[in-house]
Structure 1
Amino acid sequence: MGRTRIAIVGTGGIAHAHADGLSGLAERAELVAAVDVDQGRLDEFAERWGIENRYTDLATALREAAPDLVHLCTPPGAHHQQAIACLSAGVPVLCEKPPTLSLAELDDILAAERAGGARFATVFQHRFGSAALRLRRLVEAGDLGRPLVAVCHTLWYRPDEYFAVPWRGNWEIEGGGPTMGHGIHQMDLLLSVLGEWAEVTAVADRKARPTATEDVSCALVRFENGAVATVVNSLLSPRETSYLRFDLEHATVEVEHLYGYQDQDWRVTPAPGREAEVRAAWDTGDEDVASGHRAQFDALLTAHEGGLPLPVSAADSRSTLELVAAIYASSFTGTPVRRGEITDGHPFHGRMSGGAVPWPAP
């Protein structure tokens, strides 16, 4: 079959990461269109990446460029309507995180999938590095024993001026603070390894930044398999790190990085007496593939070319987004929240703030 024809919608900073990732897969994919409401930004992006077809209107791009796949790189507040427009036109979507501003919006997208047949996937590129793939395989096979304890920390730093961009730190456009827009990558990787979560107890606060949203959250998460995890998301941490730790019966597996990892960023510590079997299981000789957009695009194109479900489906994304909603709900109501509790009619189903933010607007 021919190369997959891709349109990028939204030509800001993250769109360049998409174009760069696709440039390494040029034998399998081609950028046939770019879309942005800002003509100057659109032209600059298209010139940089050699894209001839340029549109300021998504509907026109879908009709005239006829892409096989759309990459949504717009601010989060635009994802819902744009994704449904693509799916309704029969065009699959790969959407930047967070996929939507609320569970209600993601449920609309799931309904559009069922109605039109086209599929929706979310960019959660940390799932696709070779070490994460290896860890999931070993956990699923039981080679490292049962998962017991985990740590998931996104400790980043963003100064006040970071929030000068109008859509940042805004519930209506960004959907939330570091829980929604920053730590979601690490939380998604956590869930991809440990499976479905069961209950969360959390706190969130606005400590220092001039935002409407939180700038820090902390949660205790119980999983269906019995494991427990601590989850911290911060924009107040001068020594920045993204850190995950999995304590299993036979080994501790850790990764520390900032915005992306390689195999060398992972560390495995066997339990006493388990050294030989753990080393043999971990040292599988897999190719060292870094996490990143290209790794996910490679998997996405393989699925698309084979007519298979797109990796990190809307259903996969919903589990992660539901955990985000539950952290906010537990924080703002002061009660634990169980998976499946936030459904249609629940205050936190329609918006992450739930109408219950305990601090005044800045």
Structure 2
Amino acid sequence: MPVETSLVRAAVIGTGGIVTGSHLPALRAHADRVRLVAAVDVDERRLAVFRDQAGEHVAGYHDTARMLAAERPDLVLIGTPPSLHTEQVCSALEAGAWVLCEKPLCLSLAEYDEIAAAEQRCGEKYSGAGGGRHGGGPGGPYASVVFQHRYGSGAVHARELLAAGELGRPLVAHCQTTWYRDAAYYGVAWRGRWSTEGGGPTMGHGIHQMDLLLHLLGDWSEVRAMAGRLVHAVESEDVSTALVRFESGAMATVVNSVLSPDEVSRLRIDCADATVELTHLYGHRNDDWTYTPAPHVDDRGPRTTRWRTPAADVPSSHAAQLGDFLDAREKGVRPPGSGQDARRTLEFAAAVYKSAFTGRPVGAGEITPGDPYYRAMHGNHPDWAPKERTEQ
């Protein structure tokens, strides 16, 4: 049953840079559909600064449970460190709120399945009310992860072309997230630690481009990977590489790095009739996408004109994803970037780690509850797990 289309009451948990710089502008971009009513942060000064920016109507809280009980928001946006996500997501679902959470949604496949169980439980809990403002039952509540690179007109257009076979069969791909982070970046206590960040650039940086790769090419079947800790004195990796085979037969290379002075995010897919390439850093517009016809394709024909002319130029952004999320909520349907769709990306990251640390290929569906990589991305590997775990 579709939920009501009155103004959605939203709350944010965490008021740091990602919420202030991305979620708050997204909420403002959809001010005709959603109203921010509350914010939660354990840091009183940071919360006060955020409320000054957001407006006097935003109530401040230092405790998530108290906020959920007092405000009963329809939507909760989460921008806290990753180790806090699962508990906060589940609490928001239990309160009947739909959730849009920063990546990674959680630290492991085990935690993801815990969130999925909470969705199921809360759907049954709220279905008796016939949906209502919380969108219970078949219409939610649901939890979705922020993968804003899927959104924007360039990505939407590329996916439509690939799905329709306009570019020919996908054959070879390259997915590159080569960024640079210095020692000061890892001076933040929760970064570089498995228990609080969940992993290095594979989980915290490259996951955006990897998600876009899977979004465009579909299900993967096999991963062979390597990882290294080459510069930074952290628990997790600072570089990873992978070879990937997709169910379609297409093959890809994936590189994730925080050691690269010349920073770039790049995605390239070579199809039978064309190459589509995206080059950007933290976000893209139509001009960041290029289409190169194969020699046998007319470069000036109507077919190639369609490739290069999306209907609009909408940049990838939190605002673009929030719009689609609100559309799904109004219809009472599962939002994009949730459920099995988002789990596939997390499973892919887990497979990269397992292959890199064990030195053997990993197949899709292999990491099940009895597998050590199901509960932690380091798989309790003696060379990679935190020392306190290996000494037990």
The two structures have a TM-score, normalised by structure 1, of: 0.97
The question of 1:84 aligning with 2:90 is answered: yes
Give the conservation status (yes or no) of the 8 Å contact 1:62–1:89: yes
Provide the C-alpha distance between the structure 1 equivalents of 2:9 and 2:323, rounded to a whole number of angstroms: 14
* Deviation (angstroms), 1:277: 4.9
Residues 276-327 of structure 1, C-alpha deviation per residue, up to 9 Å, x if partnerless?
A: 2541331444100111111111111111122222121132111000000000
* Deviation (angstroms), 1:86: 1.1
- The equivalent residue for 2:46 is 41
The structure 2 residue matched to 1:351, chosen from 376, 379, 385, is 376
Give the conservation status (yes or no) of the 8 Å contact 2:236–2:384: no
Provide the C-alpha distance between the structure 2 equivalents of 1:281 and 1:103, rounded to a whole number of angstroms: 40
Instruction: Give the match's secondary structure for 1:281.
Output: helix
The structure 1 residue matched to 2:191, chosen from 153, 162, 168, is 168
Say which is worse superposed, 33-42 or 163-172, in terms of deviation.
33-42
- The equivalent residue for 1:211 is 234
For 1:92, the aligned partner's letter is W
Residues 202-252 of structure 1, C-alpha deviation per residue, up to 9 Å, x if partnerless?
A: 000100012111000000010001100000000000000000001011100
Provide the C-alpha distance between the structure 2 equivalents of 1:359 and 1:84, rounded to a whole number of angstroms: 29
Provide the C-alpha distance between the structure 2 equivalents of 1:255 and 1:297, rounded to a whole number of angstroms: 22
State the percentage of identical aligned residues.
52
For 1:255, the aligned partner's letter is L
The structure 2 residue matched to 1:289, chosen from 314, 318, 330, is 314
Give the conservation status (yes or no) of the 8 Å contact 2:230–2:239: yes
Aligned residues: 362
Distance 1:145 1:62, change over 3 A: same
- The equivalent residue for 1:144 is 167
Distance 1:294 1:241, change over 3 A: same
Say which is worse superposed, 87-96 or 74-83, in terms of deviation.
87-96
- The equivalent residue for 2:348 is 323
Give the conservation status (yes or no) of the 8 Å contact 2:286–2:310: no
Give the conservation status (yes or no) of the 8 Å contact 1:144–1:278: no
The structure 2 residue matched to 1:339, chosen from 364, 377, 382, is 364
Provide the C-alpha distance between the structure 2 equivalents of 1:191 and 1:358, rounded to a whole number of angstroms: 29
For 1:46, the aligned partner's letter is R
Residues 4-30 of structure 1, C-alpha deviation per residue, up to 9 Å, x if partnerless?
A: 111000111111110111111111111
- The equivalent residue for 2:155 is 132
Give the conservation status (yes or no) of the 8 Å contact 1:130–1:263: yes
The structure 2 residue matched to 1:28, chosen from 22, 33, 55, is 33
Give the conservation status (yes or no) of the 8 Å contact 1:138–1:281: no
Distance 1:156 1:20, change over 3 A: same
- The equivalent residue for 2:126 is none
* Deviation (angstroms), 1:60: 1.3
Output aligned runs, 1:5-24, within 5 Å.
5-16=9-20, 17-24=22-29
Distance 1:240 1:285, change over 3 A: closer
- The equivalent residue for 2:214 is 191
Distance 1:61 1:22, change over 3 A: same
- The equivalent residue for 2:339 is 314
Say which is worse superposed, 98-107 or 282-291, in terms of deviation.
282-291
The question of 1:303 aligning with 2:328 is answered: yes
Provide the C-alpha distance between the structure 2 equivalents of 1:281 and 1:263, rounded to a whole number of angstroms: 13
For 1:252, the aligned partner's letter is T
The two structures have a TM-score, normalised by structure 2, of: 0.90
- The equivalent residue for 2:269 is 246
- The equivalent residue for 1:67 is 73
Instruction: Give the match's secondary structure for 2:291.
Output: strand
Distance 1:357 1:277, change over 3 A: farther
- The equivalent residue for 1:111 is 117
Residues 115-161 of structure 1, C-alpha deviation per residue, up to 9 Å, x if partnerless?
A: 11111101000001101101111111111111100000000000111
Give the conservation status (yes or no) of the 8 Å contact 2:378–2:385: no
For 2:26, the aligned partner's letter is G
Give the conservation status (yes or no) of the 8 Å contact 2:81–2:196: yes
Residues 150-185 of structure 1, C-alpha deviation per residue, up to 9 Å, x if partnerless?
A: 000000000111100000101000000000000000
Give the conservation status (yes or no) of the 8 Å contact 1:261–1:291: yes
- The equivalent residue for 1:262 is 285
Distance 1:32 1:246, change over 3 A: same
Say which is worse superposed, 254-263 or 81-90, in terms of deviation.
81-90
For 2:318, the aligned partner's letter is H
The structure 1 residue matched to 2:62, chosen from 34, 56, 63, is 56
The structure 2 residue matched to 1:181, chosen from 204, 208, 225, is 204
Say which is worse superposed, 268-277 or 245-254, in terms of deviation.
268-277
